Amino acid sequence: MTDTSALLLSERIRIALADEITTGALASGVALDEQQIGDRFGASRTPVREALRQLASSGLIEMRPRRGAIVAAMTPDTIADMFEMSAEMEALCIRLATYRMTPIERSALRRLHEASEAMVAAGDIDAYDTFNLRFHQAIYEGTHNRFIAAQAVALRERMAAFRRTQLRESGRPVKSRAEHGQLLDAIMRGDGEEAAKAMRAHMFNASSAMERMIQSQS
Amino acid sequence: MTDTSALLLSERIRIALADEITTGALASGVALDEQQIGDRFGASRTPVREALRQLASSGLIEMRPRRGAIVAAMTPDTIADMFEMSAEMEALCIRLATYRMTPIERSALRRLHEASEAMVAAGDIDAYDTFNLRFHQAIYEGTHNRFIAAQAVALRERMAAFRRTQLRESGRPVKSRAEHGQLLDAIMRGDGEEAAKAMRAHMFNASSAMERMIQSQS
DNA sequence: GATGATTTGTACGTATGTATA
DNA sequence: ATATACATACGTACAAATCAT
């Protein structure tokens, strides 16, 4: 019997739980019973515990010694806080990247952006989501600061579920791509502060789209 | 005498390893064998694994699936990158705090700053280090963004070992306190961008002091 | 406040995947 | 290239602590 998934079992559990928490399927304050979760995923408590540790360090759940884990409070305020952190992190990255990217890196970023036109036209959200990740990742690497890039990746990973929700709003991919164009322009002009501002606006628009999606769901 | 018996075994191991890594007792790239570590602490591999997970998420070690954990690379470049991230994080916090702190929070920050004068005069580095932590923490909380504050605390925690080194340079506490005064002034004027600039300079001076200390040690 | 039930924290054994001879 | 060695990832079992009654 071949295991089609290359991922670690604990990672699969972590991603699934993170998804359920960010989408609201697991409400704030709900107790996360290790055994119960293990049963749900057909796993023992060991990988479940490792997944919970990860989630705790990313802030999605709270673990109190010997008292179990509960879903962290995810009020609209908390989510807004997370988006602000995310936006500021992206703004920091693009500001540094504007000053530090090599000509080769800049043209690679432009090529990426040009390639995404077809995805938007075809309405392929999954493909665009993948492109989106690479576009932002290229900016992280453009900071030429491995530590900042790693932090940015970790933060983005953490917001992944929100992002997917957000891109499903009709018309959002088109707008998202247009905003990317503005980011690119600011980078090409070498105006780091302007790039940072455009990035904050881009992230704000994404968060607004997500809020609307969540409201329409519930 | 510290009573560590109340803590979880995995937490004790995590703290001990974190200390050894930041002080350099465990050099970069060293392989962390679970069994071996377990033997050292008289524990099984289970709590060791949990400790390693935590350390990985804080970036002190790297875990590659099925290939074991190693102490993360801590070259001068890496440390410089960490300082830059730290400086930008602090700059972000003080910018937001400038716009969002309540009058009560602002005056509390001022009182903190005034109280530190005696510590510097007495040359009490430990007391000043503690004050320093509280001063910066007050700024984190001034962002009124719990998520950002938590990230800032985590980052600062990670830089703790470096910071203590840095404050030992003669004359550094005096300069550090003077810089705090400038930060406070910018906050009181409500000039967030200026506060951010002053914070970057403050952090840069701290990192320079640390570099000089490390060079003189080796 | 004490006791039983539930759940976490830890120990240990097995199997899979990685690296090396 | 194959096989061997080895460390990790996961499963199971037990003990200690929390909570519910």
Q: Give the residue nearest to nucleotide D19 (CA to C1').
A: A67
Q: What does chain B come to in residues?
A: 218
A192-207: buried (b, 16+ CB within 10 Å) or exposed (e) per residue? bebbbbbbbebbeebb
Task: List, for residues A112-157, the tens digit of each pLDDT value.
Answer: 999 999 999 998 888 888 899 999 999 999 999 988 998 898 888 7
Residue intervals of chain B classified under CATH 1.10.10.10 are 3-71
Q: Which chain A residue has its CA at the smallest distance from B155's CA?
A: A151
3-class secondary structure, B143: coil
Q: Residue B9's CB: how many other CB atoms inside 10 A?
A: 18
Give the position of tokens 């009709």: A170
Main-chain dihedrals φ then ψ at residue B87, nearest 5 degrees: -65, -45
Q: At a CB cut-off of 8 Å and minimum separation 6, what does A14 contact? A: A50, A51, A54, A55
Residue intervals of chain B classified under CATH 1.20.120.530 are 76-217
Indicate whether this model's pTM tops 0.95: no
B3-71 maps to which CATH number?
A: 1.10.10.10
Task: List, for residues B195-213, the tens digit of each pLDDT value.
Answer: 999 999 999 998 888 777 7
Among A88, A94, A127, smallest CA distance to A109 is for: A94
Round to whole Å and give the CA distance between A157 and B168.
38
- Which of the 8 DSSP states describes residue A73? P
CA of residue B117 to C1' of nucleotide D7, angstroms: 54
Q: What is the pLDDT along chain B (218 residues), one digit of tens a residue?
A: 333 345 788 888 888 888 888 777 888 888 999 999 999 898 999 899 988 988 887 788 888 888 889 998 877 788 889 899 999 999 999 999 999 999 999 999 999 999 999 999 998 888 998 899 999 999 999 999 998 998 898 888 777 767 767 777 888 889 999 999 999 999 999 999 999 999 999 999 988 887 777 666 55
In this predicted structure, what is the pLDDT of residue A145? 95
CATH number belonging to the domain at B76-217, selected among 2.30.31.70, 2.60.120.10, 1.20.120.530, 3.30.1540.20: 1.20.120.530
CA of residue A80 to C1' of nucleotide D17, angstroms: 37
Asked if A88 and B148 come within 8 Å (Cβ–Cβ), the reply is: yes
- Which of the 8 DSSP states describes residue B67? T
Q: Residue B138's CB: how many other CB atoms inside 10 A?
A: 18
B164 and B148 Cβ atoms separated by less than 8 Å: no
A69 touches strand C (CB under 7 A): yes
In this predicted structure, what is the pLDDT of residue B27? 85
Q: Residue A120's CB: how many other CB atoms inside 10 A?
A: 18
